C-alpha cells in the first residue's frame, strides 16, 4: 500500500486527534472541540512545514 505524504499525514492527524480529543477532555462537547483543534493543528502544521521547506529550497 502506497500513500502520498499528504494523505498519510491527514490520516495520522485524524486518528491522533480522535484519541487526543477523547482522552484529554471530560465532556463530549469539549472532546469534539479539542479533537477538531488538534486536527487543525496537525493539518496546519503540515502546510506550514511544507511552505517552510519550499522557502528553504528556493
To another protein, the closest distance from the beta carbon of 57 in angstroms equals 17
* Rounded Cα gap, residues 41 and 14, in angstroms: 11
User: Per CB under 8 A, does 22 bind another protein?
Assistant: yes
Contact between 29 and another protein per CB under 8 A:
no
Minimal distance, residue 25 CB to another protein, in Å: 10
Q: What grid cell was written down for 44?
A: 496546519
Reading phi first (left if > 0) and then psi (alpha if -120 to 50, else beta), residue 3 is in beta
Binding site for another protein (CB under 8 A): 1-3, 5, 8, 11-12, 14-16, 18-20, 22-23, 26-27
Amino acid at each position: 500500500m502506497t500513500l502520498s505524504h499528504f494523505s498519510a499525514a491527514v490520516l495520522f492527524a485524524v486518528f491522533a486527534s480522535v484519541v487526543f480529543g477523547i482522552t484529554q477532555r471530560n465532556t463530549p462537547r469539549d472532546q469534539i472541540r479539542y479533537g477538531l483543534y488538534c486536527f487543525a493543528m496537525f493539518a496546519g502544521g503540515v502546510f506550514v512545514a511544507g511552505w517552510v521547506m519550499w522557502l528553504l529550497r528556493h
